[in-house]
Amino acid sequence: MGFKWAKSLLKNLDKKKLHITKGASDVSSINQNLRKNLKKFSRKRKKLDYYISGISQGNKTILSEAITIIESQNSKDMALAKAIVKACLPLSGKSIRVGITGVPGVGKSTFIDSFGAHLCNHLGKKIAVLAVDPSSNRSGGSILGDKTRMETLTTIDNAFIRPSPTANNLGGVAKKTRETIILCEAAGFDTILIETVGVGQSETTVHSMVDFFLLLMLAGAGDELQGIKKGIMEMADTMIITKADGENVLNCKKAKMTYQSALHLFPPHPTGWIPPVLLTSSLENEGIQSVWNTVEDFKKQSISTNYFRENRINQNLYWFRESIQEQLFMLFKKNKRVKEELHTLETLLKTEKTTAFEASEQLFNTFLEEIKKQND
């Protein structure tokens, strides 16, 4: 068992507690904790049937194990991961996918806890909570999807919570999240909540994988339009002013009016939908049912105008193109000659000895030559 394999496994384990002994060439010479985890890790891999029958029966433990394979950085898991997603695809697509965003501290996890519990307990829904957080790092503790942040939901049988996958880039996180959505839907979850914060492009990414996008906002004293990018407001299908309780209620009502008039200035939604501004108090469970009514109204309007289906088709096309680009780039960078030349050309660019166009053309020609060589 090679050192490389152990190293990639380490990415999935707690880096603080575990480290590879310098110079180790075999698993047997790395620390005991890792060895224990390695055994557990390899024991966990089962045959495809085990995952598919577990998922289709709605078994949350097996669903979690399957998601772990999807998220695995180990190349040995790739074939199984693909097979799981492929088998789940025909069972997927039947949920409503809701994106939830807002700045840290706005009350996202408290809202999801209250909203999710309401959906499960009063409306008989099965909900899955996922997170997209490109800054998340399991060893450092993910800021989103942390189970301790949704205390009620964790005790509910019909709810499933999964923290953000760890990946080096947003594209990687997004791909894994989309596959996780498919698995959750195949497991019978009818409402998928996907949480994100304003890190880089994460809102846009989540927006491109959901049917309905909720923006949570705080009522501020006179600065209602500050601190949130216009583009994000434009994506919102509904805006919620959080923490509308106690002395804050008046402020929230004022903020509602300000945002309501701001939203009218944005281009109209293709369905003619006008995004409402709602007030909620997650602590007092106020306004929670009206959020769900809004989701239902939007869904009805989207279905009657065919937008619901068209939007999902466009999202699939978008992810198809993204995925091609990503795979092509991976193939490109994997080539030894291209990799070396890329490095050299970057140095030349930094010293202004070439131009971006010239350098990319040269590199692309090298790539084509390499492909031709392989085919000859």
Shortest Cβ 354–ligand GDP spacing (Å): 46
Shortest Cβ 213–ligand GDP spacing (Å): 16
Residue written as tokens 């434009």? 234
Q: Which is nearer to ligand GDP, 107 or 276 (CB)?
A: 107
Footprint of ligand GDP on residues 88-147 (CB under 6 A)?
Answer: 102, 104-110
Q: What string of DSSP letters covers 231-275?
A: HHHHH-SEEEE----GGGHHHHHHHHHHHHHHHTTSPPPTT----
Binding mask 199-228 for ligand GDP (x = CB under 6 A): ------------------------------
Number of residues that bind ligand GDP (CB under 6 A): 15
Q: Among residues 322, 242, 323, which one has the least CA distance to residue 286?
A: 242
- Which stretch, 89-97, 118-126, 277-285, 319-327, contacts ligand GDP (CB under 6 A)? 277-285
CB atoms within 10 A of CB 286: 15
Q: Which is nearer to ligand GDP, 238 or 335 (CB)?
A: 238
Shortest Cβ 248–ligand GDP spacing (Å): 7
Shortest Cβ 243–ligand GDP spacing (Å): 4
Shortest Cβ 14–ligand GDP spacing (Å): 23
Alpha helix stretches (DSSP H) within the chain = 3-10, 32-44, 48-56, 60-71, 78-88, 108-123, 151-154, 170-186, 202-207, 230-235, 249-263, 288-304, 307-334, 336-350, 356-375
Torsion, CA 116, CA 269, CA 300, CA 156, rounded to 10: -10
Q: Which is nearer to ligand GDP, 110 or 302 (CB)?
A: 110
First to last CA, the chain: 34
Footprint of ligand GDP on residues 231-250 (CB under 6 A)?
Answer: 242-243, 245
Q: Which is nearer to ligand GDP, 87 or 131 (CB)?
A: 131
Half-sphere exposure of 263 (CA within 13 A, CB side): 22
Displacement of CA 356 from its chain's centroid (Å): 32
Question: Which listed residue (101, 282, 294, 302) binds ligand GDP by CB under 6 A?
Answer: 282
Going by their DSSP bridges, the two strands 96-101 and 277-279 should be labelled as unpaired
Q: Which is nearer to ligand GDP, 106 or 255 (CB)?
A: 106
For residues 222 and 126, is the Cβ–Cβ distance under 8 A? no
Shortest Cβ 100–ligand GDP spacing (Å): 9
Question: Which listed residue (48, 199, 249, 283) binds ligand GDP by CB under 6 A?
Answer: 283
Half-sphere exposure of 278 (CA within 13 A, CB side): 25
Shortest Cβ 322–ligand GDP spacing (Å): 27
Q: Which is nearer to ligand GDP, 52 or 252 (CB)?
A: 252
For residues 234 and 266, is the Cβ–Cβ distance under 8 A? yes
Torsion sign (Cα): 216, 219, 224, 226: negative
Shortest Cβ 235–ligand GDP spacing (Å): 18
**Which neighbouring-strand residues pair with 99?**
194, 213
Shortest Cβ 205–ligand GDP spacing (Å): 18
Q: Which is nearer to ligand GDP, 95 or 242 (CB)?
A: 242
Q: Which is nearer to ligand GDP, 117 or 182 (CB)?
A: 117
Q: Contact between 281 and ligand GDP (CB under 6 A)?
A: yes
Q: What string of DSSP letters covers 286-319?
A: BSHHHHHHHHHHHHHHHHHTTHHHHHHHHHHHHH
Q: Which is nearer to ligand GDP, 129 or 170 (CB)?
A: 129
Residues that bind ligand GDP (CB under 6 A): 102, 104-110, 149, 242-243, 245, 281-283
